[in-house]
């Protein structure tokens, strides 16, 4: 099934799901699982998980699976899996869901992940997380493409209807052998069907030709023919109200059909992939719109009061460009994250000890970088990001690129890459380069990312730095 | 090093729980074309919502693509650099008597002649925005098929028509089916 903006709704999803499941198991086998049980350590555990998954996805033993087609837009399973990891970073509630499920299992069975049977349970929990995440990601993308609200539940419903249509089409094609069921779907006498298919059913060529009442009757009579209740008629409440709304079903079937017809045209598919210049083009528009708004209505710092006195903790002031340029180096940056109040580096060091133990076996294959690396890399660092993050060390800045664009991107200058891998240095290497621990590196990276997004959102530097 | 991609990601990949589309398309489009700047509350909503920013991005790029297609913007009534059309699947059985371009401005007529051949007539709709200029300037036009072969070349008469013999042995329908079922009318440079 394809809808505007979606990427994870076609049959190739099975490959993506299997790939993510296998990699998750490998990563969880080395991860300190206790961290998932502790709400205070969950976000750090997510960082560990995402970094390890990015490496695991590129491991040679997953190459075949990663090369499988993930959708009809030309994305491979590996590319989609990688894209979902970026989504996971932005949707930590999905990770919270997984942690809650692991905690519940742990409350019943203890450290279930250590046993053989635990692997299946763990894989199931990872599958569940990614099932929710893919519908969330696609529902968001659909909203972006259409401007109409869409929820993960609605995405799930589209897919259910698409699957139901597929079943009905299969039955219609095979009608001589399933006359009774086809008669039930059509609401006709069985004798009528054995004499030949009604024209409307014969002429069903796409999902848009499928009638809502066929879906409802197919679901209502499925249990009689197969023993399993139809999706609209299970005991669960999920689709209970939908079976009384044929118009809603018909509208959704039509939407799927319309986009299927539209996207069968390759021109429409091509537009989905962005090109390099798109970011520059729309950011220019965005900064212009922000500037025009400020010119027309004035700049309001936190509605005019309290911002400079720190009086209203809830309404954190957004640092402007000048603040960013004057900011002291390293941990001196401030932002409105609630998760790093008092705990400074000594807490971080303790976590480092735990994380270091958990990941020791990954460190062996990394070669240390040449002593001149930072100097050479610094020489090619210029532009807005360097200006906004003035005072932030180069390794931390590279960690920001790592998190936002990945280890590999065409836009990286050669001097930033580890000659051994052709990629940005790993987080561990960056931490060593900076002489800090991994948790400190991550903390500073997160602070720098918050600063970067605030500066980009304000757009005060839109013209001056370009 | 171009930083736009990383700034884009910094904006769009932020964590924002329970994010939703915060502004209507009409508000975003009016801000984009400068007719109505965002109010401060709208600006803050846009800045704080990655999903709304992604919708803004979509609309901004769409708007730029559209602007590119109808250049130059100044002469919005006279510009024309070609029209394309395709054979309709519904016409498969019947003999072909006419085809219309996707923009609706041009019609191709196929009229059987005495020698078992066809006459091809290209006709410009007098209501087309660029009709006045084309008739005035007597632009040299051609009609090409999906394979790039020239089916007709000439200038429009005062009625906005140009007639030539069909250049092939094969009937128009069969010919179009052989060459991608598409055609285009374009000015000769």
Give the gyration radius of chain A's Cα atoms: 27
Cross-sheet strand order for the sheet of B106-112: B98-100, B106-112, B118-124, B161-165
Within 8 A of A400 by CB-CB distance, chain B residues are: 6, 10
Same-domain check for residues B97 and B37 = no
pLDDT tens digit sequence for A284-299: 999 999 999 999 887 7
Q: Using the beta-carbon criterion (under 8 Å), do B3 and A384 form an inter-chain contact? A: yes
Torsion angle (degrees, nearest 10) of CA A334, A339, A342, A344? -80
> Can you state the angle between helices A179-186 and A212-226, rounded to 10 degrees?
140
Q: Which of B10, B16, B34 sits opposite A452 (nearest CB)?
A: B10
How far is it, in rounded angstroms, from Cα A456 to Cα A320?
A: 10
Same-domain check for residues B183 and B136 = yes
How far is it, in rounded angstroms, from Cα A298 to Cα A291?
A: 9
pLDDT tens digit sequence for B123-153: 999 888 888 888 888 888 889 887 778 889 8
| Model confidence band, residue B62 (pLDDT cutoffs 50, 70, 90) | confident
Q: Which of B1, B2, B37 sits opposite A297 (nearest CB)?
A: B37
| Model confidence band, residue A447 (pLDDT cutoffs 50, 70, 90) | very high
Q: Using the beta-carbon criterion (under 8 Å), do B1 and A413 form an inter-chain contact? A: yes
In a domain, B74, yes or no: no
By residue count, chain B amounts to: 189
How far is it, in rounded angstroms, from Cα A445 to Cα A430?
A: 11
| Model confidence band, residue B93 (pLDDT cutoffs 50, 70, 90) | low
Same-domain check for residues B154 and B96 = yes
Q: What angle do CA A409, A26, A360 make, to 5 degrees?
A: 80
Longest Cα–Cα distance in chain A: 85
In a domain, B44, yes or no: yes
Q: End of a domain among B69, B102, B123?
A: B69
Q: End of a domain among B23, B39, B69?
A: B69
Domain count, chain B: 2
Same-domain check for residues B90 and B169 = yes
CA-wise closest residue to A403 among A457, A368, A451, A442 = A442
Give B92→chain A minimum CA distance, Å.
18
Q: Count chain A–chain B contacts defined by CB atoms under 8 A.
A: 136
Mean predicted confidence (pLDDT) in A91-100:
94
- Is there a contact between B130 and B77 (Cβ–Cβ < 8 Å)? yes
Q: What angle do CA A77, A79, A80 make, to 5 degrees?
A: 65
Query: CB of A291 within 8 Å of any CB in chain B?
Result: no
In a domain, B76, yes or no: no
Using DSSP's 3-state secondary structure scheme, residue B107 falls into strand
How far is it, in rounded angstroms, from Cα A255 to Cα A400?
A: 40
Within 8 A of A453 by CB-CB distance, chain B residues are: 10-11, 14
Using DSSP's 3-state secondary structure scheme, residue A205 falls into coil
How far is it, in rounded angstroms, from Cα B157 to Cα B154?
A: 9
Q: What range does the domain containing B136 cover?
A: 83-187
Domain boundaries, chain A: 13-146, 154-270, 278-297+316-337+349-356+370-458
Query: CB of A286 within 8 Å of any CB in chain B?
Result: yes
Q: Which residues pair with A444 in a beta bridge?
A: none
- Who wins on pLDDT, A398 or A352? A398
Query: CB of A384 within 8 Å of any CB in chain B?
Result: yes
pLDDT at B29 (0 to 100) = 94
Find which of B2, B9, B27 to mutate to test the A interface (most A CBs within 10 Å of its CB): B9
In a domain, B77, yes or no: no
Same-domain check for residues B125 and B155 = yes
User: Tokens 């410009």 map to which residue?
Assistant: B124
Mean predicted confidence (pLDDT) in A210-215:
93
Same-domain check for residues B108 and B182 = yes
Query: CB of A464 within 8 Å of any CB in chain B?
Result: no
Using DSSP's 3-state secondary structure scheme, residue B119 falls into strand
Q: Which of 149-188 (A) contact B at CB < 8 A?
A: 149
Same-domain check for residues B93 and B181 = yes
Mean predicted confidence (pLDDT) in A248-256:
92
Token pair of A405 as six digits = 């664009």
Same-domain check for residues B94 and B41 = no
User: Helix (H) and strand (E) counts for chain B?
Assistant: 6, 8
Strand B161-165, strand B118-124: pairing: antiparallel
Same-domain check for residues B95 and B178 = yes
CA distances, A413 to each of A70, A76, A408 (Å) = 30, 26, 11
Same-domain check for residues B87 and B172 = yes
Same-domain check for residues B170 and B106 = yes
Q: Which of 334-363 (A) contact B at CB < 8 A?
A: none
In a domain, B19, yes or no: yes
- As to burial, measured by CB atoms within 10 angstroms (0-12 exposed, 13-18 middle, 19+ buried), residue A226 is exposed
How far is it, in rounded angstroms, from Cα A331 to Cα A334?
A: 8
ipTM of predicted complex: 0.79
Same-domain check for residues B122 and B90 = yes
Token pair of A93 as six digits = 């509630």
Chain B CA closest to residue A414: B1
Query: CB of A228 within 8 Å of any CB in chain B?
Result: no
Q: What angle do CA B70, B73, B75 make, to 5 degrees?
A: 105
């Amino acid at each position: 099934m394809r809808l505007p903006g979606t990427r994870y709704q076609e049959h190739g999803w099975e490959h993506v799901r299997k790939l993510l499941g296998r990699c998750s198991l490998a990563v969880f086998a080395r991860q300190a699982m206790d961290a998932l049980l502790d709400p205070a350590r969950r976000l750090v555990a997510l960082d560990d998980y995402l970094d390890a998954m990015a490496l695991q996805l590129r491991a040679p033993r997953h190459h075949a699976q990663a090369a499988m087609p993930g959708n009809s837009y030309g994305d491979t399973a590996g590319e989609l899996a990688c894209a979902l990891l970026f989504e996971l970073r932005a949707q930590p509630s999905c990770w919270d869901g997984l942690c809650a499920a692991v905690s519940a299992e742990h409350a019943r069975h203890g450290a279930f992940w250590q046993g053989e049977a635990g692997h299946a349970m763990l894989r199931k929990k990872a599958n569940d997380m990614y099932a929710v995440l893919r519908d969330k990601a696609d529902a968001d993308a659909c909203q972006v493409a259409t401007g109409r609200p869409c929820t993960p539940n609605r995405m799930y419903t589209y897919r259910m209807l698409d699957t139901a249509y597929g079943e009905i089409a299969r039955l219609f094609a095979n009608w001589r052998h399933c006359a009774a069921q086809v008669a039930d779907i059509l609401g006709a006498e069985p004798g009528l069907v054995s004499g030949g298919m009604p024209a409307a059913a014969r002429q069903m060529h796409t999902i848009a030709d499928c009638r809502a009442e066929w879906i409802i009757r197919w679901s209502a009579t499925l249990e009689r023919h197969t023993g399993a209740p139809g999706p609209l008629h299970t005991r669960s409440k999920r689709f209970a109200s939908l079976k009384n709304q044929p118009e809603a079903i018909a509208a959704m079937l039509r939407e799927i059909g319309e986009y299927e017809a539209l996207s069968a045209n390759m021109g429409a598919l091509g537009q989905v992939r962005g090109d390099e210049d798109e970011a520059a083009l729309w950011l220019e528009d965005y900064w212009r719109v922000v500037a025009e708004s400020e010119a027309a209505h004035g700049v309001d710092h936190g509605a005019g009061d309290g911002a400079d006195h720190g009086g209203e903790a809830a309404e954190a002031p957004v640092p402007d460009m000048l603040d960013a340029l004057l900011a002291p180096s390293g941990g001196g940056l401030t932002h409105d994250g609630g998760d790093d109040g008092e705990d400074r580096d000594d807490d971080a060091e303790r976590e480092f000890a735990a994380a270091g133990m958990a990941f020791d076996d990954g460190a062996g294959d990394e070669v240390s970088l040449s002593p001149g690396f930072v100097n050479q890399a610094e020489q090619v660092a210029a532009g807005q990001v360097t200006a906004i993050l003035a005072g932030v060390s180069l390794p931390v800045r590279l960690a920001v690129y790592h998190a936002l664009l990945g280890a590999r991107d065409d836009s990286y200058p050669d001097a930033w890459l580890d000659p051994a891998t052709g990629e940005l240095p790993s987080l561990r290497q960056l931490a060593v380069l900076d002489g800090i621990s991994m948790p400190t590196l991550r903390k500073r990276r997160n602070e720098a990312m918050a600063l970067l997004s605030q500066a980009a959102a304000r757009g005060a530097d839109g013209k001056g730095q370009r | 090093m171009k930083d736009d991609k990383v700034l884009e990601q910094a904006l769009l990949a932020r964590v924002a729980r329970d994010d939703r589309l915060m502004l209507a398309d009409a508000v975003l489009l009016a801000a984009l074309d400068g007719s109505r700047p965002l109010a401060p509350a709208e600006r803050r909503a846009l800045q704080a919502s990655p999903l709304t920013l992604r919708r803004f991005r979509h609309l901004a790029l769409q708007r730029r693509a559209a602007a590119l297609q109808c250049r130059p913007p100044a002469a919005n009534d006279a510009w024309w650099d070609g029209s394309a059309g395709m054979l309709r699947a519904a016409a498969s059985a019947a003999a072909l008597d006419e085809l219309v371009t996707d923009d609706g401005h041009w019609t191709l007529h196929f009229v059987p002649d005495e020698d078992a051949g066809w006459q091809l007539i290209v006709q410009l709709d007098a209501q087309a925005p660029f009709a006045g200029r084309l008739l005035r300037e007597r632009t040299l036009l051609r009609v090409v098929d999906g394979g790039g072969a020239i089916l007709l070349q000439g200038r429009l008469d005062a009625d906005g028509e140009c007639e030539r013999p069909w250049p092939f042995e094969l009937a128009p329908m069969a010919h179009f089916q052989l060459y991608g079922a598409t055609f285009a009318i374009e000015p000769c440079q």
